[in-house]
Chains A and B, each alone.
Chain A
Amino acid sequence: MQYLLMTYVNEGGWTQLTPAEQEQGVASYRAYVEALVKANAFVGTNRLQRTSAATTVRAVNGKTQVLDGPYADSKEQLAGYFLIDVPDLDAALAWAARCPATSHGVVEVRPIWDMTA
Chain B
Amino acid sequence: MSPRANDAQRTADAVARHSYGKLVAFLAAQTRDVAAAEDALSEAFAAALATWPQSGCPSNPEAWLMTVARRRLIDGARHRRSGETVAAQLQILAGEPEAVAAPEIPDHRLALMFACTHPAIEEGIRAPLMLQVVLGLDAKSIASAFLTSPAAMSKRLVRAKEKIRQAGISFNIPEREELPSRLDAVLDAIYAAFAEGWSDPGGTDVARRDLTEEVIYLARLMTELLPQSPEVLGLLALMLHADARRSARRDASCEYVPFTEQDIARWDASMIAEAETLLRRACAMGSIGRYQLEGALQSAHVDRRRTGRANWAEVVQLYDALIALADSPVMVVNRALAIAELHGAIAALQSMQALTADTRLAEYQPYWAARAELLAKTGAYDEARDAYGMAIGLERDPAVRNFLLQRQSALPN
Which of these, A35, A89, A97, A102, contacts B393 with CB under 8 Å?
A35
Is B390 a contact of A90 with CB atoms below 8 Å? no
When A39-B362, A93-B147, A97-B147 are in contact, do A34 and B405 touch as well, CB less than 8 Å?
no
Indicate whether B383 reaches chain A with its CB closer than 8 angstroms.
no
Is B147 a contact of A94 with CB atoms below 8 Å? yes
A102 and B405 CA atoms in complex are apart in Å by 17
Using Cβ atoms and an 8 Å threshold, which residues of chain B touch A98? Answer: 393-396
A35 and B405 CA atoms in complex are apart in Å by 14
> How many A-B Cβ pairs are below 8 Å?
56
Residue in A31, A40, A97 whose Cβ sees the most chain B Cβ within 10 Å: A31
The smallest C-beta distance from B335 to any residue of chain A, in angstroms, reads 24
Which of these, A27, A35, A102, contacts B390 with CB under 8 Å?
A35
Using Cβ atoms and an 8 Å threshold, which residues of chain A touch B390? Answer: 31, 34-35, 38
Is B148 a contact of A35 with CB atoms below 8 Å? no
Is A100 a contact of B398 with CB atoms below 8 Å? yes
Indicate whether A81 reaches chain B with its CB closer than 8 angstroms.
no
Using Cβ atoms and an 8 Å threshold, which residues of chain B touch A28? Answer: 392, 401, 405
Identify which of residues 10-29 in chain A touch chain B, using a CB-to-CB cut-off of 8 Å.
24, 27-28
Using Cβ atoms and an 8 Å threshold, which residues of chain B touch A34? Answer: 389-390, 393
The number of chain B residues touching the other chain, given as a range, is 20 to 34
Is A36 a contact of B402 with CB atoms below 8 Å? no
- For the residues of B in contact with A, the DSSP-based class is helix
A68 and B255 CA atoms in complex are apart in Å by 41
A97 and B396 CA atoms in complex are apart in Å by 6
The smallest C-beta distance from A85 to any residue of chain B, in angstroms, reads 14
Is B147 a contact of A90 with CB atoms below 8 Å? yes
Identify which of residues 375-413 in chain B touch chain A, using a CB-to-CB cut-off of 8 Å.
388-390, 392-396, 398, 401-402, 405, 408-409
Indicate whether A103 reaches chain B with its CB closer than 8 angstroms.
yes
The number of chain A residues touching the other chain, given as a range, is 20 to 34
Is B392 a contact of A31 with CB atoms below 8 Å? yes
Residue in B148, B152, B362, B396 whose Cβ sees the most chain A Cβ within 10 Å: B396
The smallest C-beta distance from A41 to any residue of chain B, in angstroms, reads 9
Residue in B392, B398, B402 whose Cβ sees the most chain A Cβ within 10 Å: B392
Indicate whether B149 reaches chain A with its CB closer than 8 angstroms.
yes
The proximity string for A residues 32-61 relative to B, scoring 1 for CB distances below 8 Å and 0 otherwise, is 111110111000000000000000000000
When A28-B405, A38-B362, A39-B362 are in contact, do A90 and B393 touch as well, CB less than 8 Å?
no
Using Cβ atoms and an 8 Å threshold, which residues of chain B touch A36? Answer: 393
Is B148 a contact of A89 with CB atoms below 8 Å? yes
The smallest C-beta distance from A61 to any residue of chain B, in angstroms, reads 38
27 A-B pairs with CB atoms under 8 Å apart are A27-B392, A28-B392, A28-B401, A31-B389, A31-B390, A32-B392, A33-B393, A34-B390, A34-B393, A35-B389, A35-B393, A36-B393, A38-B362, A38-B390, A40-B362, A89-B152, A93-B147, A93-B148, A93-B149, A94-B147, A94-B363, A97-B147, A98-B393, A98-B395, A100-B398, A102-B396, A103-B401
Chain A to chain B: the 10 pairs with minimum beta-carbon distance, closest first: A35-B393, A31-B392, A31-B393, A103-B398, A32-B393, A31-B389, A97-B396, A35-B394, A39-B362, A34-B389
Residues of A within 8 A of B (CB): 24, 27-28, 30-36, 38-40, 89-90, 93-94, 97-98, 100, 102-103
